Amino acid sequence: MTHIDGARRPVATLDDSVRLVSDERSGAHAVLILDRRVFPEHVEWVRAETPLEVAEAIRAMVTQSSGPLYAAYAGLELAALQARGLTVDAARASMAAAGHALATARPTNGHPREAVDLVLHAIEAATSTDELVERAIDTVREGLDEYHARSRRLARHAVELLPDGATILTHCWMDSYLIELVGAATDAGKHYDWVATETRPYLQGARLTAHTLRELGHNVTLITDGMGAAALAPGSSLGPIDALVTAADRVSLDGSIANKVGTLGLAIAANAFEIPFYALVQTPDATLASGADIVIEDRDPAEVLSTLGTRTASGLVTDAWYPAFDVTPPRFVTRIVTDRGDFAPDNIADYFAGDRP
């Protein structure tokens, strides 16, 4: 992977934060990924020339939230383009290898796996390499379009639960969900004030969430991760918070949600102070019977000893712990908002019942 500097652009309009590019002279393809580890102070792009390098960028936190989905789709398209010239069986095997690397780069985030499953299923029946490549690329485009459409539907359902003028506490970086929620609120004539946690150690809340909300014209107050319970407590000098709203990386069929570590503590505090907690996810994961089945990504503990590449712990400290996600039991979740509407946690399996829009 290589880094490329770029012109400053607002994150709120970065639908192309992951780009597939080609060299006009050589015809070689590569994926450019906005490095969200340093945005907005620096606008840099990581160049990945193979699907394995795309997977490594996902693992290294170059992109987060919806970003791994976009990167996985781009990596799959890159794999298809690089499979030209192979026999159809070899091309299919190459796509499968790329898919495995992309799907497992961050085990708790289910979006890359969903993209891989969709594309690999689409190429199963291909009888020639040209057909395989065409099917893969078409499915990538269709998958991205569907993801954006479902995010918009999810956002409209979330706005129905949130009154005009609400103050919302959010944790980490909801990416497309956040941008679509703000857009849906605007369409409904609603406006919100926000409180955002900083989200250590990569500070996605401080650098991405708060930045985006200000770009979109919403008021946002930044707090440290340790201030969440105090902010939710009655009598806080911030004023009353009306709802806790976060994304969910995975939702099991018993209504447990996995999200950025720290969500559990906020959910418990919100429950104690009778503040609703709405978790946003396009669809629950039908492969997960309960929260116990969710694999939690344990990242390198050394990441906790530093913040954005600068050592913040004493040099005498050598031990740390960094589960990137935690699991909130359903009893602390008020409603799970999906692209098919909102559900009580213990009824989330009804998402798959019938033809509910």
**Nearest to 179, CA basis, from 40, 14, 43:** 14
**What is the Cα–Cα distance from 190 to 208, expressed in whole angstroms?**
22
**What is the Cα–Cα distance from 241 to 234, expressed in whole angstroms?**
9
For strands 243-247 and 167-170, give the pairing: parallel
What Cα–Cα distance (Å) separates residue 269 from each residue in 60, 75, 194, 204, 277? 31, 40, 17, 22, 10
- Give me the residue label for tokens 């907005």: 40
For residues 243 and 278, is the Cβ–Cβ distance under 8 A? yes
What Cα–Cα distance (Å) separates residue 11 from each residue in 72, 127, 213? 20, 41, 10
Prior bond of 40 cis (ω within 30°): yes
**What is the Cα–Cα distance from 32 to 41, expressed in whole angstroms?**
18
Amino acid at 215: E
The one catalytic residue in 35, 175, 225, 249 is 249
Q: Is 350 assigned a catalytic role?
A: no
**Nearest to 340, CA basis, from 324, 352, 332, 331:** 352
Q: What is the DSSP letter of 207?
A: I
Q: What is the DSSP letter of 211?
A: H
Could you give the residue numbers annotated as active site? 249
